[in-house]
Amino acid sequence: MGSFSKTLNSFLKKKSIKYGLPFLLVVLGGSFGLKEFAQLRYQFSKVSVVRPEEMKKYGIEMKKPGEVTIDTEFEKVKKLDIDNWEQVRGPRPWEENIN
């Protein structure tokens, strides 16, 4: 019995076991703990679905799925005059908004 405790003590005194094992336990345990806390955040968040009748109440109308397509947007872009334009500098945050 004395030889077992002697080898166990010498094994536990190694630096890789003394410092490495607790480090690995904290890193791996922290990752699983963080996963659980993140899951709670999303599980109990107060996200609600906006219903169409609520949108109409505030004057917001949704477009029907067939109204906007890539082709209709491309036709709008083709009509734009991209050859004649003027570069206008936007106001800086510290400048007054002069229009």
| 0.75 surpassed by pTM | no
Query: If you search the block for the tokens 């505030």, which residue do you land on?
Result: 58
Return the exposure string of 11-30: e unless at least 16 CB atoms fall within 10 Å of the residue's CB, then b. Answer: eeeeeeeeeeeeeeeeeeee
Q: Is residue 12 part of a domain?
A: yes
Q: How far apart, in whole angstroms, are the C-alpha atoms of residue 32 and residue 25?
A: 11
Name the residue range of residue 31's domain.
Answer: 2-43
Low-confidence ranges of the chain (pLDDT < 50): none
Residue 83 phi/psi, 5-degree rounding, is -85, -30
Residue 31 and residue 13: Cα distance in Å, rounded?
Answer: 27
How far, in whole angstroms, is CA 72 from its chain's centroid?
32
CA 79 – CA 82 distance, rounded (Å): 9
Number of domains in the chain: 1
Examine residue 31 and state whether it is found in any structural domain, yes or no.
yes
Whole-number pLDDT of residue 98: 60
